[in-house]
């Protein structure tokens, strides 16, 4: 892989020659000449999702937190710790990916995602400072130092990202893209579901509202990387190894189930180790389908948390449906040259 030139005076901005990676563009943002139609639609949707964490009231959650069972508090704290890691590493790593994407319209969307990941980090800080007792706050940020299960999860994704930074090969970049897709499409969702489960029981409603905004953003990020992967597959059918994609999915599912059982397990009303497995494999099958690949897990076609759809509804629009159980890329369009913004 070769980083794109910041200002490429020999670049060719014609749409017929534009590619997702390894293209030769000037890197000027002429948004009246767009090849990837979905990117500008997604950009507009993501811009409409603007929100401010502090606008959500967490006043009642501080009292409700004290009323949670010890197991519920453990899960609440641990999931927050993992979410802090996920959005921190995304904020830091997305610019590394953006340096190798040679479609200006997609570069813009990745830049918006980077901004949104930073907002998510601020939202977790707001939740922690508003709800968690002072003496427990440092434990949430440092939980990976004492929790081996969490550390292994964090290390796995971080090492994939770091390997590409250290060695920019095609294989390492392919792994980074799949890892991003897994992070956005699989890693968040048992945690999100935990907060919606509490809200369904009239607990931590402010936190659930905050998570809805984050959830809505993460859905667009999932769609973004699904589209990037599909475009590269269409342009170069040898770039990704299907066997490696399946192996990465299997590892991600294994870790997600192990972590969710470790931090939630059978200790929270409405969630069980059985439902965690069913839901994680259901989500993984769906994410594979969304990039045009066969499912890995037979018999896991049903969402065990269907009753929480109303709680999880984020009022999405466009190609991203309003709740995370049904988010997909069904409106994905094969690349075609589009002349002019008005045609989008």
- Residues annotated as part of the active site: 124
Pairing of strands 33-34, 338-339: antiparallel
Sign of CA pseudo-dihedral 337, 340, 343, 344: positive
- Cα–Cα distances in Å, from 210 out to 63, 97, 131? 17, 28, 13
What distance in Å separates the CA atoms of residue 189 and residue 116, rounded to the nearest whole number? 18
What distance in Å separates the CA atoms of residue 295 and residue 281, rounded to the nearest whole number? 9
Q: Classify residue 158 as exposed, middle or buried by CB count within 10 Å of its CB (0-12, 13-18, 19+).
A: middle
């Amino acid at each position: 892989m070769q980083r794109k030139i910041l200002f490429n005076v020999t670049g060719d901005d014609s749409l017929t020659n534009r590619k997702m990676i390894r293209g030769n563009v000037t890197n000027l943002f002429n948004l009246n000449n767009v090849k990837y139609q979905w990117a500008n639609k997604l950009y507009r949707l993501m811009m409409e999702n603007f929100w401010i964490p502090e606008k959500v009231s967490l006043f009642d959650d501080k009292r409700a937190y004290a009323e949670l069972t010890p197991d519920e508090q453990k899960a609440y704290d641990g999931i927050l710790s993992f979410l802090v890691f996920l959005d921190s590493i995304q904020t830091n790593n997305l610019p590394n990916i953006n340096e190798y994407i040679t479609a200006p319209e997609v570069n813009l969307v990745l830049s918006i995602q980077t901004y949104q990941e930073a907002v998510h980090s601020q939202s977790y800080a707001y939740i922690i400072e508003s709800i968690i007792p002072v003496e427990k706050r440092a434990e949430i940020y440092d939980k990976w130092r004492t929790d081996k299960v969490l550390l292994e999860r964090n290390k796995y994704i971080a090492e994939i990202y770091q390997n590409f930074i250290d060695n920019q090969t095609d294989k390492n970049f392919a792994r980074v893209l799949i890892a991003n897709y897994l992070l956005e499409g699989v890693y968040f969702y048992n945690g999100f579901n935990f907060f919606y489960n509490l809200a369904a029981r009239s607990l931590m409603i402010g936190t659930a509202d905050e998570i809805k905004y984050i959830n809505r953003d993460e859905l667009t990020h999932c769609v973004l990387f699904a589209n990037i992967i599909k475009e590269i597959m269409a342009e170069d059918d040898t770039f990704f190894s299907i066997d490696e994609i399946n192996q990465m999915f299997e590892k991600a599912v294994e870790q997600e189930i192990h972590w969710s059982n470790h931090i939630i397990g059978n200790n929270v009303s409405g969630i069980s180790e059985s439902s965690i497995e069913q839901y994680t494999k259901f989500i993984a099958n769906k994410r594979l389908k969304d990039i045009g690949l066969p499912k890995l897990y037979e018999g896991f076609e049903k969402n065990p948390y269907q009753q929480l759809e109303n709680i999880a509804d984020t009022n999405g629009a466009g190609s991203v449906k309003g709740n995370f159980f049904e988010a997909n890329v069904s409106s994905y369009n094969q690349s075609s040259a589009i002349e002019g913004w008005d045609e989008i």
